Amino acid sequence: MPEGPEIRRAADKIEKQLRGKTLDDVWFAFPELAKQASSLIGIQVNAVDTWGKAMLIRFADQRVLYSHNQLYGVWKLHSEDKPPSTKRSLRVRLTAEGRAASLYSASDVSLWHENALDSHPFLARLGPDLLSQQVTSGDVQKRLHDPQFRRRSLGALLLDQRLVAGLGNYLRTEILFFSKLHPKMRPVDLTSVQLSLLADSIIDITHRAYRQAGVTNLDAWIEQAIAAKEPRRQWRFSAFERAGLSCHRCGSIIERMMVGSRRLYLCPCCQLLSP
C-alpha cells in the first residue's frame, strides 16, 4: 500500500494539473456518486491535499472528493482524448481544459461537504498529517506521551494511524533505524533524548521520503550501496529490504523480523533492546 509520501506526491501532480481550473466533465463509477457528477461540472478545483493515505480534492463549492487507494488504487494523468491503456477498472475521472485525472481500482471514494469531514468514519480517527499539516517535533512528543500510546511497543505503534497519519511499513523500519530504537521498546521506556530523536525522525524521515520519491537513505550510504551493486530497492533504504547486508553504521548484518504480521528490518547491534 502506498504510504503518506507517495500519496502526497500523487496529490501534488493532480493539483498541478487541475488546481484553479474549472471542470468540463466528471465521471464516477459508483451509482451514489454518478448522480452528483453533473453538479460538479463548471466547478473550480481549489486544492488537492492529503490526510495520511487518503486524498482530498477540494472544490470551490466547499465539496471535497475523498479517496483512499488502499492496496490497488492508482491515479493516472492523461490527455482527455488519450486515456491510459490499462486493465484496471476506472472509478473516477475529472477533466478540465483537455487534461484528465483518472482513478483506477480504488473502492473507497465519497463526496463530502468540507464542514462534515470531521465526521468521516476514517478521517475522524486519524492523527495529524505530517505533510499537509504543520506538525512539530514537540507535537509528536506530546502524542507519544499520551496514555493511549505511551505503553505500546514502537513496532506496532508506528503503524497506528491515530498517532500520526501516513506512516507505513518502510517508514516504520527507517524511523526506528535512524532513532537507534528496538521495535519492542515503548515510549514510556525512552529517555527524553531518545524521545526527542524519535519524534524528529518521524517527521524528518517522512519528509525525506516525500522530497526524494521514497528514498530515505543518506547520500553517503547510497554511494556505498551503489558501489556494492545493490539494486535500487535496497540502496534507497538504510535498513528496509536489506536483510543479510551490512549495516551502514556499524557493519553488523541487518536482520528481518515480523511485527504485527508485517516485516520489519533492524540492526541487532545499533538497535539493542534496553533492559
Domain containing 194 — which CATH number? 1.10.8.50
Residue 275 lies in a domain: no
The CATH code of the domain that includes 20 is: 3.20.190.10
Q: Is the pLDDT of residue 132 over 80?
A: yes
Q: What angle do CA 269, 274, 275 make, to 5 degrees?
A: 135
Same domain? For 142 and 118 the reply is no
**pLDDT (0 to 100) of residue 275:** 59
pLDDT value of position 71: 82
Give the residue from 125, 145, 180 where a domain finishes: 125
Residue 199, CA atoms < 13 Å, CB-side half-sphere: 19
Which tens digit of pLDDT belongs to each residue from 188-198?
999 999 999 99
Question: Residue 64's domain spans which residues?
Answer: 4-125
**Mind listing the pLDDT tens digit for each residue in 216-272?**
999 999 999 999 999 999 999 999 999 999 999 999 999 999 998 899 999 999 999
* Domain final residue pick, 94, 125, 156: 125
Kindly state whether residue 178 falls inside one of the protein's structural domains: yes
**Average pLDDT score over residue span 108-127:** 96
User: 232, 248, 227, 129: which is closest to 177 by C-alpha?
Assistant: 248
Task: Please say if the pLDDT value at position 41 is more than 70.
Answer: yes
Q: For position 70, what pLDDT does the model report?
A: 87
Q: Could you give the residue numbers annotated as active site?
A: 2-3, 53, 262
Tell me how many domains the chain contains.
Answer: 2
Query: What totals of helices (H) and strands (E) does the chain contain, helices first?
Result: 9, 10
Residue 99 β-bridge partners? 79, 96
Is the per-residue pLDDT at 143 higher than 90? yes
